[in-house]
Chain A
């Protein structure tokens, strides 16, 4: 059974940093692309970043490029999102998601972790 468990969310001041983690199990983690998708309170879904399964190459939405860094540790089956220079508009539930067959097709999602950026 595929399981994705996020952690690391919380309250942070504008300009601060936070690192999210996503522990994965139930599938061959190193062979699948993964992603972070966020959802601001009461809003829709926004893709944030992705990492390729084959070579670990990453890419980012323009809204977070240069501030967020996605990485993975295949020995721990864990995905990370380092978030720096946080802004109020980064406030959201952050989901990690596994891709299935296509880079942006998300077949399993974690339960999400809430990040609140506020003074």
Chain B
């Protein structure tokens, strides 16, 4: 099974600054990589799929990049509502696998 590893576990960033989150797959997953945002007490929300395509209604400050085994989620200018936990997920191989999450907190 593919293991997804996210780093860092916790990222402290000030509002208005850029945040960069990383995700690594233990095997090649092409660009079949998604990012989800989860706020406390809420369900996850799809942000990015295909490694770099924003889902419907997702703000342009969210961008994804990478292919193969290394991926990045960048939030260009953090807003207060962006502080949450972010998960990456590979959907190239059965079974799908999620990373353990990166908690983005206010600095």
Contact = CB atoms under 8 A, between A and B. Distances in A.
Given A45-B87, A61-B95, A102 B43 contact: no
Nearest to A108: B46
Nearest to A4: B43
A46 B55 contact: no
Contact of A107 (B32, B46, B87, B101): B46
B99 interface: yes
Interface stretch (A10-18, A80-88, A109-117): A109-117
B71 interface: no
Contacts, number: 52
Interface residues of B, number: 22
A111 B45 CA distance: 11
B98 A46 contact: yes
A32 interface: no
Interface of A: 44-47, 59, 61, 95, 100-112
